[in-house]
Chain A
Amino acid sequence: MADDRADSHAHDLACVEVVEIMTDYLEGALPATEARRLERHLGTCPGCTEYLEQMRTVADSLGGLAEHSIPAEMRDGLMSAFRGFRTR
């Protein structure tokens, strides 16, 4: 199969390439052969392993920044627009 070449003979990934495909990896969007190459690299590279961990931490940490409400004035405006709409 022609595509097997990509796996067995491709050059090893360099860190400078790895940092560009981290999100594709975390999103499960890398083709399986690419993902295996990345994992092989991670197995020998503490820098990229730490980098991956940090990207994961960023992705997982931001939920706490969500605003759970809109300004009261805006909400009041929306509710009175709604009442106006209803009585028409």
Chain B
Amino acid sequence: MARPVTGQHNDELIAALCRADESAFATLVDRHSPAMVRVAMAYVPTRAAAEEAVQETWIAVMRGIHRFEGRSSLKTWIFRILTNVALRSGARERRSMPFSALAEAEDTGEPSVDPDRFLPADHELFPGHWVIMPARWPTPEEGLLAGETREVIAAAIAELPVAQRTVIALRDVEGWSSEEVCEALQISAGNQRILLHRARSRVRNAIERYFGAVEEIDYDAVTAEMMDDTAKNETDSL
């Protein structure tokens, strides 16, 4: 997937920002604000409150840019300020916890796939194997986001618990690396993967439901076939 490419190097941007250069500020605002709103939504109850937190963050960035020492990337630094601002304003609205606590509170430990789609663990021949297995999706040539599936996917993401939604949005929608996500949200690599896994699994399930793309395995037929093969092998070896 193509990402917007910006030619201006970070050091130049920082220098320009220190000079209070308006176009440098505009470049940064356009580059980071959409993802900032997504992250802020994890801490505050409304979109309006998230936009306010983003605005407050940009002012803090302007105030603090002279003290920015480049120990982290500019992006990481901006998002760390955002997290602090959003946490504080979330606290004012009595809905505020660190992202890691939010993730934990939301985690229901649900399985990725409905357990009824597998044979039971005590099945004699194929314990825990698919009964209703995934089938190939009839994806249009232009990709999943071309047709109605775009709405299905957008709705599935919107319905995710907020911690999962934030992680999948940053990783898969915005294209961030796992390190960047861990850094910005102050979560461990393991927690990041759990959230990403749950989110992707739910989106996959939604697409599968929409396509009705499943195939039931007839284990009676499979077993009969195996018996036939065994019998045939025995006859052959006589």
Say yes or no: A83 contacts B204, CB within 8 Å: no
**In contact, B144 and A66 (Cβ under 8 angstroms):** no
A23-B172 in contact (CB<8A): no
Interface residues of B in 120-140 (CB under 8 A from A): 121, 127-130, 133-137, 139
A3 interfacial contact with B, CB 8 Å: no
Please give the distance in Å from B166's CB to the nearest CB on chain A: 13
B72: min CB distance to chain A, Å: 22
Q: A15-B130, A70-B37, A85-B62 are in contact. Are A54 and B154 (CB under 8 A)?
A: no
- For window 22-62 of A, CB contacts with B under 8 Å fall at 22-24, 27, 29, 45-48, 50-51, 54-55, 57-62
Could you give, for residues 1-36 of chain A, a 1 whenever the CB lies within 8 Å of some chain B CB and a 0 otherwise? 000000000000011110110111001010000000
A78 touches B157 (CB 8 A): no
CB distance from B193 to the nearest CB of A (A): 6
- Contact check, A68 vs B153: say whether CB atoms are below 8 A apart: no
Chain B residues lying within 8 Å of A24, measured Cβ to Cβ, are 193, 197
Instruction: Show the binding face of B for A, using Cβ within 8 Å.
Output: 1-4, 20, 22, 25-26, 29-30, 33-34, 37, 51, 54-55, 58-59, 62-63, 111-113, 115, 118, 121, 127-130, 133-137, 139, 143-145, 150, 153-154, 157, 168, 171-175, 178, 189, 193, 196-197, 200-201, 203-204, 207-208, 217
Contact at A82–B25, with CB atoms within 8 Å?
yes
Known contacts A50-B135, A74-B51: does B128 contact A14 (CB below 8 Å)? yes
Identity of the chain B residue whose Cβ is nearest the Cβ of A63 in the assembled complex: B1
Q: Do B128 and A17 touch (CB < 8 A)? A: yes
Q: B residues within 8 A CB of A23?
A: 193, 196-197, 200-201
A interface with B by C-beta (< 8 Å): 14-17, 19-20, 22-24, 27, 29, 45-48, 50-51, 54-55, 57-71, 74-75, 77-79, 81-83, 85-86
Could you list 30 examples of A-B contacts with CB < 8 Å?
A15-B129, A15-B133, A22-B112, A23-B193, A23-B200, A29-B189, A29-B193, A45-B130, A47-B130, A47-B217, A48-B130, A50-B136, A51-B133, A51-B204, A58-B172, A59-B171, A61-B144, A61-B153, A62-B157, A63-B3, A63-B172, A65-B150, A66-B34, A69-B30, A70-B33, A74-B55, A78-B29, A79-B22, A79-B29, A85-B59
